[in-house]
Amino acid sequence: MKNLPKNGILIAFGELFLKSEPVKKLFQKRLINNLWFFLKKEEIDFKIYNFRERIFIKTDQIIKAKKLIKKVFGISWFAENFFFPETNLKKFSCFVSENYKKWIKKGETFALRIKKNRKIIEKIAKNINRKVDLTKPKQELFIEERKRGWFLYFKKIKGLGGLPVSSSGKVLSLISGGIDSPVAAFLAAKRGAENIWLHFHSFPLVSKNSIEKTKDLAKIFLQYQPCLKIYFIPFQKAQMEIKAKTPAKYRILLYRRLMLKIAEKIAKKENCQALITGESLGQVSSQTLPNIKIIEETVKIPVLRPLICWDKEEIIKLAEKIGTFQISIKPAEDCCTLFVSKHQTAQGDLKKVKELEKKINTSRIIKEALRGGLTGSFD
């Protein structure tokens, strides 16, 4: 590293320090792999150096790299920085004294923020001919001493936080194409879960709009997860049979239970450890506590609901931030609303639901749906 150029990006992780040393090393490796994938995908010229508490990316394509790094989970903050590959304090102090006028204009105040060895503050500060202000300085110089040299940076940029994708196993996310479900998938990814998506559609009873929306949402999601597999499962035959044999007010519950049964089969095949839905408590009739209980009773796999206590305004705000909102609001027929009346029960009866399910050939419907499904891989 003696010949390492000074330009680059310093990356700090947050929660990883709460982990044991073996787990921390594993998670750090996942993060490095994800960074490598995204940077390579955009054809950025770079090298990654792994420190015990930091990751340093050597690159001259700073602006382009920062744009990508901002969307990588597992990063607490990052900063454009200089790496000075010299452990000698006197030489580093000379480097600062020779260059500080480029960073701190005449008349501006400054503060040194030293990590690790605070005893070096006076030795460095005495060579900077500018006024010190530790409370509200115009410019801050962050300095970190490491075994292999010094890091110097001026501004920390907040990262996405969370854990590196793929560090917490795999989940199957049910994606409707609406506002909520992509946000729920995003939050699952933030906790380190690798997403596989499942989209139910009613083509050819309706157009392919929901399918195309899901593909468009996948393109946005690939900014946060390296690759994505999607199952597109036809649901129109199931809906027609449920419509013909059950009362309208219970159809949405029967739809949802059947969807989870199909999802559980796919999750088992893909080694997913949980299902993710975009449900928010009380948002619609199927998302009341009694109905949530009825819906998830049909499967044994955990059903996680990242948005369960969020209101719509909060969900929309995050959807806008991550870039899915404008796609989600495009018109498309939701397969769950097909053949469903406006007056659904908000407090279903599990015994009644099970009686109605006996009128439906559930096993046949599941087999046909899975047989008619298509998969797509995106990266």
CATH code linked to domain 170-378: 3.40.50.620
Lowest average pLDDT, out of 104-108, 113-117, 257-261, goes to 113-117
pLDDT of residue 63: 95
pLDDT of residue 2: 47
CATH code linked to domain 7-160: 3.30.2130.30
Over residues 240-255, mean pLDDT: 91
Write out pLDDT tens, residues 287-325.
999 999 999 999 999 999 999 999 999 999 999 999 999
Over residues 212-229, mean pLDDT: 96
**What are the distances in angstroms from CA 216 to CA 173, 261, 272?**
16, 26, 23
pLDDT of residue 93: 87
Domain boundaries, the chain: 7-160, 170-378
Q: What is the chain's mean pLDDT, rounded?
A: 91
Q: Are 340 and 248 in contact (CB under 8 A)?
A: yes
pLDDT grade for 197, boundaries at 50, 70 and 90: very high
pLDDT grade for 345, boundaries at 50, 70 and 90: confident
Percent of the chain with pLDDT over 70: 95
Longest C-alpha distance within the chain, in Å?
85
CA 53 to chain centroid, in Å, comes to 22
Over residues 164-186, mean pLDDT: 96
Over residues 105-114, mean pLDDT: 93
Write out pLDDT tens, residues 262-290.
999 999 999 999 999 999 999 988 899 99
pLDDT grade for 59, boundaries at 50, 70 and 90: very high
pLDDT of residue 1: 43
